[in-house]
Amino acid sequence: MEVVQQAPWCFVTPRHGPMRVPGVIYATRVLLPPAAGDQALDQVVNVAALPGIVEASYAMPHIHWGYRFPIGGMAATDLAVGGVWPLGRRAELEKVLAGGARYAVEQGHGTGRDLARCEDQGILAGSEPRRVSQRAIDRGLHQVGSLGSGNHFLEVQVVGEVFDPAAAQAFGLAAGVAGGGAFYATCHGAGRLMSRHKAARTITGTVLRDKLEARGIAVRGASLRGLAEETPEAYKDVDEVVSAAAAAGLCRKVARLVPVGVVKG
């Protein structure tokens, strides 16, 4: 696969084969997925072949191998040509998906100010909840109202450092405003360097727990295996990821937040 560096923080995979658009990877060379053992760049190419895709198949600095679509990938499609429509579930869930965040506010779970800060006022037009199968409903029903299964986190933070006082004040020290290319998308985290299996082979949960507690970090996990999967060494350097995203114009650094508590679903 040809990967051309266009800038210190931007690489491009030119169109070839069935690709309808090029692949654009916002990352430094250090943050690029390794050629061996990670198929994230192949997935960027595969996404570029989707019907209806427009502009480019984008990847953020935290990109890593996902399920068909790379984690940290971003794509937009012309629904008149192709793409994927959002779906929902029966009865109450159909109302939730049809009404979006507005329905939650109507039920007392938010305010109008929340809607004003949501993309598209918290609702995605054109959804067809009735198209979802009963099996999909049964599989996801028990997760409603929770953090969900898999790699979902709730994190409590304190401000560790402010880079842009004016912006920090305007946004109440929330995340910086996204901008630049990639349809105003930016990173959601550091991104994995190791798979969960590899991380668990690299360190045991007991050793990791002892190392963290020696640094004053208390951990409580459902299993030592699950703890080992989240070893810090399994992730990219988040400072490098943020710096690459800022250099690419995907975001602006406003403040550095330091976690004081994390809950994983």
CA torsion through residues 204, 210, 216, 218, sign: positive
State how far the Cα of 258 lies from the Cα of 244, in Å rounded to an integer. 19
| Residue that the structure tokens 């658009």 belong to | 21
The Cα–Cα gap between 97 and 123 comes to 8
Contact 45, 57 (CB under 8 A): yes
113's tokens: 């100010």
Residue 175: per-residue pLDDT:
47
In sequence order, what DSSP letters do the residues of 24-45 get, joined into one string? EEE--GGGSPPSSS--HHHHHH
Cα–Cα distance for residue pair 210/134, rounded to 1 Å: 45
Q: Is 160 helix (H, G, I), strand (E, B) or coil?
A: strand
- Tell me the domain boundaries of the chain: 4-77, 91-131, 153-264
Of the candidate ranges 35-39, 52-56, 105-109, 192-196, the one whose mean pLDDT is the lowest: 35-39
User: What would the pLDDT profile of 39-82 be if each residue is shown by its tens digit?
Assistant: 888 999 988 988 888 889 999 888 888 767 788 888 888 867 66
Report how far residue 129's alpha carbon sits from residue 131's, in angstroms, rounded to the nearest whole number: 5
In the numeric block, which tokens belong to residue 204?
């045991």
pTM: 0.52
pLDDT digits (tens, 9 = 90+) for 13-27: 999 999 999 999 998
